[in-house]
Amino acid sequence: MNNQLAHFKQSAPLTLGVELELQLVSPRDFDLTRGATDLLGSIDYDGRFGEIKLEITESMIEVSTLPRATADGIAADLDGLRQTLLTECARNNIVVCGGGTHPFHSWPERRICPGERFDELYSRYGYLAKQFTVFGQHIHVGCTSADEAIWLTQALAPYMPIFIALSASSPFVDGVDSFFQSARLNAVSAFPLSGQCPELRDWAQFIEHFSFLQACGIVHGIKDLYWDIRPKPEFGTVEIRVCDTPLTIERATALAALAQSLAHYLLRTRPALATALYLHVARYNKFQACRYGFAAQLSDPLLQRQVPLQEVAQELFAVLAEDAEVLGCSRWIELLKESLVAKSTDAGWLKERQVLHQNLNDVVREAGMRFSSLTGMNLKGSP
Amino acid sequence: MLTDIFSPLRASWEALQERLFFLPPFPDQLDSLALFSLLLVVGLLVGEWLRAHFGWPKVIGYVLAGTLFGPSLLGWISIEALAQARPIADAALGLLMLEIGRRLDLRWLLHNRDLLRGTLGDVSLSFLAIFLFAYLVVGLTPAWAAAAAAVTMASAPAVVLLTVEEARAQGLVTERIILHTALGSAAAFIVFAVVLGVVHAQHSDDWLNALVHPLWVCLGALLLAWLAARLALLVGALLPKRSLAQVFILVASALLAVGVARMLAVPVFLTLFLMGAMLAFRDEQRTLSYTTLPDGHWLLAIILFVVVGASLPWQDFTWLNGVQAIGLLLVRALAKVTALAWVGGSLPLAKRLMVGIGIQPLSATAVFMAYELAGLYPEIGRSALALPLLAAAIMDIVGPALCRYALIQSGETVEDGDRAKGGIA
């Protein structure tokens, strides 16, 4: 069995961690640039807010917070990481920005970062590795036990379309409007091990499933599972992986707060799971959320009918109010609620800017300004 | 040589003319378009062959083709043909200078003082080292030693841009090579203008020329650059950003500036560099910021480097001035690498060294600057500037290879990384 799975690290319950994959763009034309390795090599940073790491191509950089008990802690870490990165990028004439895809970069121009793991991915997946220059937010929620992590992985699954719609920030691909709110997940879907976690009883059954995949030669490590949500034994967390990197750290924090409140609610109420049923509609619902965002129609396998995502999300926010209160993150949830009511998303904002400027270079320029400036607590999309 | 080959043909033609009255006189000169196409084909073939067989930058092939077929060796490209091709070479150099001017990013210097220190170190050390070498070792007069330093102190923007483009390089080292090249060129142009006055002062009793010529060059270039940049921005603003029409406007404005600069004897390279810089600083609405030169500029660049190769004074080569030129290049290289390694900051030392190596090229701008200066007092200037011209001749061949080496060693080219890692297991 893989060593990573031998021991599930116990975490304090519901602690949070956030990883953001960010774009490195040139201030000359706002196309993606290369230079992550040298940038990282020149950063003088003591790790007080978390880590700054390489991602698969030289045009990406990943920041990850320390484990924090509250969303406010995450916000502080993300702000510290952002300032550190902005300072160093300014010294190297690079602009950092959020967004799930770069609207017009050319993927063959991307360069794989040095490193054994990246080389191995490029060797295994060929051009898909370069096309994987897409930018996501991963949210970790701490679990007290491995069995709890498996339960939560399945309990959170039906809510993934809501996370997708709230974080959607990738409407443009290859210089054209994809008509998707989140086109980024289409790049992820190309990988053979993407998708959903199967129905699992407990950690022992997960080990059994993993060992089976390993014996079939499909996986080597937990990182090979590109599931929408997956357990992360070395951190002692479940990891939500469906979100686009938002254009602001405020939205990224709010999404983390939503994950924490939802996990709190689920663990508090322990609803009966219908994983097998939800697996039938998971891909459809995910497509709906990616394609239409807040206007998606979700399939409810229990009621056997379609329900508007916006309605489901509104109900969820109402249900989570009490849990958010307990966790001290109501104001973050409130921001998401406002954005839902106003139907304002980062994807919508990007499209508006495109209509205004009629060119995507200026859209990325403004996205960079938006990421670097303190936008306050407003997620409604005003620049 | 070509006259010998064509004399039987001429005789036959003239014999035919007696009977076929519609025949024009035997053409003494190649038509400009035919010349353009021949230079293009010759440069292209040699460039591609060297690239395919030895992996050398194509620019080296273009220069070698010019050298081989130029007046110094085979003589197939005559001095008249060179003069005929000069407008195309000026247009090519102008467009590349426009591009390097647009890359002059002074805002970056505000965020990174190490770069400013590196550039100041490069400019001052390079000028001083070359001046002292030319004055003390070679024995040029102070004015011509300063002229030699002005001509050779900066890197070659055209070579650097084309080498970067050819290698599809991108990254922190590449960006620094481009920035230091642009800043070094700006400094060299200022020194060049001052040196114009100094040369006049040394060789003429008429102080008016010593004062007015540098002003003519600087203010003329500034005014032309400003007018051409304004024109490009005004018309460009009426068109969609990044549209083909904007590309045409940018190129047309640049060619207008080239033409007028040639008419007024204002250096083309300076005018277009300033135009590029103004477009970079004055384009608040980013009207033309995203508009790039068409790929066709490679066609013009081939002609440019064939012409540069043919203009190199290999016939003046002696072992003594050959050694002196190598000496100049060595002190220049040392000055550049030392300056950037010492005060270049913010990158690891190995990468700073690569920046120093990447800015070694010396080519078209230096050759054209040298001929501008030499043209003032031809009887003295040509011999006095043999040293920088020979240095440029050597670096025309070595420089692109050094620049490419620096880009590859920095790991910033796409192809080399991919070749090593690619493939599907």
3 state DSSP class of A356: helix
Query: Best residue in A26, A122, A124, A362 to probe B by mutation, most B CBs within 10 Å?
Result: A122
Residue B248 burial (CB count, 10 A):
15
CB B316 within 8 A of CB B386: yes
Q: B290 vs chain A: nearest CA distance in angstroms?
A: 5
Predicted local distance difference test score (pLDDT) of residue A380: 47
Q: Contacts of residue A41 in chain B, CB cutoff 8 Å?
A: 347-348
- Spatial CB neighbours of A46, under 8 Å, sequence gap ≥ 6: none
Question: Are the beta carbons of B290 and A29 separated by less than 8 Å?
Answer: yes
Q: Contacts of residue B118 in chain A, CB cutoff 8 Å?
A: none
Convert the pLDDT of each residue in B47-103 to its tens digit.
889 888 888 888 899 888 888 888 888 877 888 888 888 888 889 989 999 999 998
Name the region of B384 (left: φ>0; alpha: ψ -120 to 50; beta: rest).
Answer: alpha
What average pLDDT does this structure show over B231-253? Answer: 93
Lowest mean pLDDT among A270-274, A358-362, B22-26: B22-26
3 state DSSP class of A321: helix
Q: Which residues of B touch A (CB under 8 A)?
A: 103, 105, 107-108, 111-112, 114, 168, 170-173, 175, 179, 240-242, 286, 289-290, 292, 346-348, 351, 411-412, 414, 417-418, 421-425
CB A319 within 8 A of CB A304: no
* pLDDT above 50: residue A377: no
CB B294 within 8 A of CB B251: yes
> What residue in A sits closest to B111 (Cα-Cα)?
A91
The string of DSSP codes covering B70-135 is STTTT--S-HHHHHHHHHHHHHHHHHHHHHHHHT--HHHHHH-HHHHHHHHHHHHHHHHHHHHIII
The string of DSSP codes covering A132-172 is T---EEEEEEE-SSHHHHHHHHHHHGGGHHHHHHHH--B-E
Q: A365 vs chain B: nearest CA distance in angstroms?
A: 11
pLDDT mean across residues, chain A: 93
* pLDDT above 80: residue A97: yes
Convert the pLDDT of each residue in B193-222 to its tens digit.
888 888 888 887 778 888 888 899 999 999
Q: Contacts of residue B423 in chain A, CB cutoff 8 Å?
A: 123, 126
Q: Contacts of residue A124 in chain B, CB cutoff 8 Å?
A: 424-425
What average pLDDT does this structure show over A54-77? Answer: 96
Instruction: Give the model's confidence band at B173: pLDDT under 50 very low, under 70 low, under 90 confident, else very high.
Output: very high
| pLDDT top residue among B413 and B379 | B413
Question: Are the beta carbons of B421 and A112 separated by less than 8 Å?
Answer: yes
Q: Determine the straight-line distance between the first and last CA of chain A, rounded to whole angstroms.
A: 50
Q: Contacts of residue B171 in chain A, CB cutoff 8 Å?
A: 33-35, 38, 58
> What residue in B sits closest to A38 (Cα-Cα)?
B172
Nearest-angstrom CA–CA distance, A155 and A262: 10
Q: A343 vs chain B: nearest CA distance in angstroms?
A: 30
- C-alpha torsion sign, points A114, A118, A120, A124: negative
Closest in B175, B241, B348 to A359, CB measured: B241
Closest in B348, B421, B422 to A41, CB measured: B348
Q: What tokens were used for B403?
A: 């620049």
> What residue in A sits closest to B423 (Cα-Cα)?
A123
Question: Are the beta carbons of B348 and A90 separated by less than 8 Å?
Answer: no
CB A135 within 8 A of CB A23: yes
Question: Are the beta carbons of B170 and A109 separated by less than 8 Å?
Answer: yes
Closest in A119, A361, A362 to B421, CB measured: A119
Determine the distance from the C-alpha atom of residue B113 to the mean position of all C-alpha atoms in its chain, rounded to a whole number: 28
The angle that helices B319-343 and B386-409 make with each other, rounded to 10 degrees, is 40
| pLDDT top residue among B424 and B415 | B415
What average pLDDT does this structure show over B378-388? Answer: 79
Q: A353 vs chain B: nearest CA distance in angstroms?
A: 14
Q: Which residues of A touch B (CB under 8 A)?
A: 27-30, 33-35, 37-39, 41-42, 58, 90-93, 108-109, 111-112, 114, 119, 122-126, 357-359, 361-362, 365
* pLDDT above 60: residue B333: yes
Nearest-angstrom CA–CA distance, B395 and A375: 52
Question: Are the beta carbons of B423 and A123 separated by less than 8 Å?
Answer: yes
Q: What is the DSSP letter of B348?
A: -
Convert the pLDDT of each residue in A247-303 to its tens digit.
999 999 999 999 999 999 999 999 999 999 999 999 999 999 999 999 999 999 999
**Quick one: which of A151, A201, B39 has its CA closest to A209?**
A201
A164 has which bridge partners?
none
Question: Which whole-number Å values give the CA distances from B248 to A323, B253, B402, B421, in the listed order?
Answer: 61, 8, 34, 40
Q: Contacts of residue A361 in chain B, CB cutoff 8 Å?
A: 241-242, 286, 289-290
Nearest-angstrom CA–CA distance, A100 and A94: 18
Predicted local distance difference test score (pLDDT) of residue B15: 85
> What residue in B sits closest to A108 (Cα-Cα)?
B414
Instruction: Give the model's confidence band at B2: pLDDT under 50 very low, under 70 low, under 90 confident, else very high.
Output: low
Question: Are the beta carbons of B108 and A358 separated by less than 8 Å?
Answer: no
Instruction: Compute and round to an integer the Cα radius of gyration of chain A.
Output: 19
What average pLDDT does this structure show over A20-28? Answer: 96
Q: Contacts of residue B114 in chain A, CB cutoff 8 Å?
A: 91
* pLDDT above 50: residue B344: yes
Question: Are the beta carbons of B424 and A126 separated by less than 8 Å?
Answer: yes
Closest in A123, A125, A359 to B242, CB measured: A359
Instruction: Give the model's confidence band at A140: pLDDT under 50 very low, under 70 low, under 90 confident, else very high.
Output: very high
Predicted local distance difference test score (pLDDT) of residue A2: 54
Instruction: Give the model's confidence band at A6: pLDDT under 50 very low, under 70 low, under 90 confident, else very high.
Output: low
Nearest-angstrom CA–CA distance, B235 and B40: 32
* pLDDT above 80: residue A378: no
Predicted local distance difference test score (pLDDT) of residue A3: 56
Which of B114-141 are b and which e, b meaning 16 or more Cβ less than 10 Å from the residue's Cβ? bbbbbbebbbebbbebbbebbbeebebb
Residue B188 burial (CB count, 10 A):
27
The angle that helices B157-167 and B79-102 make with each other, rounded to 10 degrees, is 70
**Quick one: which of A235, A236, A256, A252 has its CA closest to A244?**
A252
Determine the distance from the C-alpha atom of residue B167 to the mean position of all C-alpha atoms in its chain, rounded to a whole number: 18
**Quick one: which of B134, B72, B38, B43 has its CA closest to B327?**
B134
Q: B297 vs chain A: nearest CA distance in angstroms?
A: 19
Instruction: Give the model's confidence band at A4: pLDDT under 50 very low, under 70 low, under 90 confident, else very high.
Output: low
Q: B241 vs chain A: nearest CA distance in angstroms?
A: 7
- Spatial CB neighbours of A214, under 8 Å, sequence gap ≥ 6: A1, A2, A220
CB B170 within 8 A of CB B177: no
Closest in B108, B412, B418 to A34, CB measured: B412
Closest in A30, A34, A124 to B171, CB measured: A34
A–B: how many Cβ contacts below 8 A? 91
**Quick one: which of A296, A298, A301, A297 has its CA closest to A280?**
A301
| pLDDT top residue among B1 and B29 | B29
